Amino acid sequence: MPLHKNTYPIIDIFAGPGGLGEGFSSASHHDGKALFHSLASIERDEHSHSTLLLRHFFRSFPEGKVPEAYYKYLKGTISKDDLFDLHQPQFEAASRSALRISLGDESHNLVKEILHKKLSRKNKWALIGGPPCQAYSLVGRSRMMGNPDFDNDERHFLYREYLKIIVDHQPPVFVMENVKGILSAKVNGEPIIGKIISDLTKPKLALNSSENGLAYNLYSFSKAGKPTNSIDPRSFLVKAEEYGVPQARHRMFILGIRSDIKVKPRLLHPHQPPTVREVIGNLPPIRSGLSRESDVTSRWREIIENFSMKSLESEMDDTGIARKVDRELKKQLALKFPEERSSEKYPGAIVGDHPLLKSFYDPNLTTLTSHESRSHMTSDIGRYMFTATYGCAIGESPKMKDFPVSLLPNHKNVELARKGKMFSDRFRVQLANQVSTTITSHISKDGHYFIHYDPTQCRSLSVREAARLQSFPDNYKFEGPRTAQYHQVGNAVPPYLAKQIAEIVHEVLDNMDS
């Protein structure tokens, strides 16, 4: 069916730093006209909202017309206040659309009034977003199971705020996202996913109101067919790596279409993702930092040079693998090692035909942001060196049983890990020629699961590298301290995937009756 050249509004709630909204806002017709524009993005976290506000400011300018002052801010030569003062109308517009509000009972009437005004006389629009996912994530649940208030945790039920907005404004289309862990999450012994699907189908009834005919048909983006009450909830699972995202990220996406709209959506088109090396390989090499001692390059280099594998064969179970790792290590130690912990040198465009690789580049950008390494303990530097070297030599990340005895962490559960009973992949390298593992918010805690594939850098991923693996463009600046930036990146929806979802939603809106 032919596409109309309409630009439709979106409302983005639980927006985080804006990954889902960025995908929708970046989707465009062949002539460059946007498919969507954001009327409101709602987020309560301070740093995520700051990121969101800056991005709304960026998008208030026509494509290719972002002022030089924005790039000066990224470079650090002017402050954010100066940037906003220089472009007051755009800042005011961004402030009206990027809203810092904590969704809940206390803010319900305020949000209802704001959205009612913004949506006045608009019949075709989309609601997007998803509730915070800590209580649904496998890690979050394991940490909270000892909490007697776990079953009553508000994060189980924030999806009801999503329901309230659906009931209040009756969007023709909505997209709800959440973590894979929601499939197995239970409250009071009952799977929560069945309740969520039922409630999204008849949202007004779910809120103890009269049914009044408001209903939605729910669709998967990855599997054909219209769900029924007996649908396998796993059909809503989208594996990002199957749709060009360089990351094995599996998340729930539910597409709701109001039942009076007789349009059936198409599915996402599978295509190959680029590899980790293709995505981050052109970023400037940087070394890890040193914690608990003088962080100077000469000392870091000394630690690397003293890293000895003389007892490798005696300390590893498989001597054949030990020899391969030993040979690879000697090769790596002969290479040039980086000296700086951070770099602002923008590397320019990535060579490659994949559309994602092209999307990173901004010809007006001269400064690389958020490309700074963490500090690591001396003992962890050795483990990172071994893990990355093992990955180069063997083509997979080592398990704890593969580690030389001298590199085992001083941890009470290390023997259980060596037996494969828990945390056997405590240290994980992101392999150069594959997609990455899931970038999670845990990256804000430590980098053990996110080790760079290059042994000479001997570190975990920088925020910018994690952002690229999440498919954020290089001109996307994350606000707040580094830990907050990692957290934002880990919790975000990959914009490249969101853009593809946006194209499907646009087709639905195009083909519905006015």
Yes or no: say if 497 and 259 are a contact pair by the CB < 8 Å rule.
no
> Do 329 and 410 reside in the same domain of the chain?
yes
Mean pLDDT over all residues of the chain?
89
Q: What is the pLDDT of residue 144?
A: 43
Q: How far apart are CA 369 and CA 225, in angstroms?
A: 43
Residue position matching structure tokens 């990455």: 436
Yes or no: say if 389 and 325 are a contact pair by the CB < 8 Å rule.
yes
Q: How far apart are CA 328 and CA 348, in angstroms?
A: 30
> 101 or 191: whose pLDDT is higher?
101
Q: What is the pTM of this model?
A: 0.93
Q: What is the pLDDT of residue 34?
A: 95
Q: How far apart are CA 332 and CA 455, in angstroms?
A: 7
> Do 385 and 241 reside in the same domain of the chain?
no
How far the first Cα of the chain sits from its last, in Å, is: 16
Q: How far apart are CA 479 and CA 361, in angstroms?
A: 20
CATH number at residue 43: 3.40.50.150
Which strand (E) or helix (H) includes residue 314? Answer: helix 312-315
Distances (CA, A) of 200 to 187, 207, 213, 253: 18, 10, 13, 13
Question: Does position 230 have pLDDT exceeding 80, yes or no?
Answer: no
* pLDDT (tens digit per residue) in 306-332: 876 656 777 887 888 988 998 998 899
Q: How far apart are CA 374 and CA 295, in angstroms?
A: 11
Question: Does position 343 have pLDDT exceeding 50, yes or no?
Answer: yes
Residue 450, CB-side half-sphere exposure with 13 Å CA sphere: 26
Choice among 293-307, 312-326, 348-362, 491-505 with the minimum mean pLDDT: 312-326
75 within a domain of the structure (yes/no):
no
Decide: helix, strand or coil at residue 271.
strand
DSSP character at residue 174 = E
88 within a domain of the structure (yes/no):
no
284 within a domain of the structure (yes/no):
yes
149 within a domain of the structure (yes/no):
yes
Q: How far apart are CA 279 and CA 462, in angstroms?
A: 13
87 within a domain of the structure (yes/no):
no
> Do 112 and 45 reside in the same domain of the chain?
yes
Q: How far apart are CA 19 and CA 129, in angstroms?
A: 10
DSSP-assigned states of every residue in 460-478: BPPHHHHHHHTT--TT-PP
> Do 120 and 17 reside in the same domain of the chain?
yes
280 within a domain of the structure (yes/no):
yes
Range of the domain at 165: 8-52+99-271+493-511
Strand-strand pairing, 186-187 and 173-179: unpaired
> Do 219 and 368 reside in the same domain of the chain?
no
71 within a domain of the structure (yes/no):
no
Question: Does position 393 have pLDDT exceeding 90, yes or no?
Answer: yes
Q: Which tokens belong to 91?
A: 């800042």
Yes or no: say if 10 and 122 are a contact pair by the CB < 8 Å rule.
no
Distances (CA, A) of 344 to 318, 340, 356, 500: 42, 11, 22, 31
Choice among 59-73, 192-206, 255-269 with the minimum mean pLDDT: 192-206
Closest to 42 (Cα-Cα) out of 162, 188, 146: 162
* pLDDT (tens digit per residue) in 182-205: 888 877 777 888 888 888 999 998
Averaged pLDDT for residues 70-82: 98
Q: How many domains does the chain have?
A: 2
DSSP-assigned states of every residue in 405-452: GGG----TTHHHHHTTSS-TTSS-B--TTS-B----GGGGT-STT-B-
Q: How far apart are CA 79 and CA 100, in angstroms?
A: 21
Question: Does position 90 have pLDDT exceeding 60, yes or no?
Answer: yes
Choice among 38-42, 133-137, 342-346 with the minimum mean pLDDT: 133-137
285 within a domain of the structure (yes/no):
yes
Residue 149, CB-side half-sphere exposure with 13 Å CA sphere: 3
As a whole number of Å, the CA-based R_g of the chain is 24
Residues comprising the chain, all counted: 514
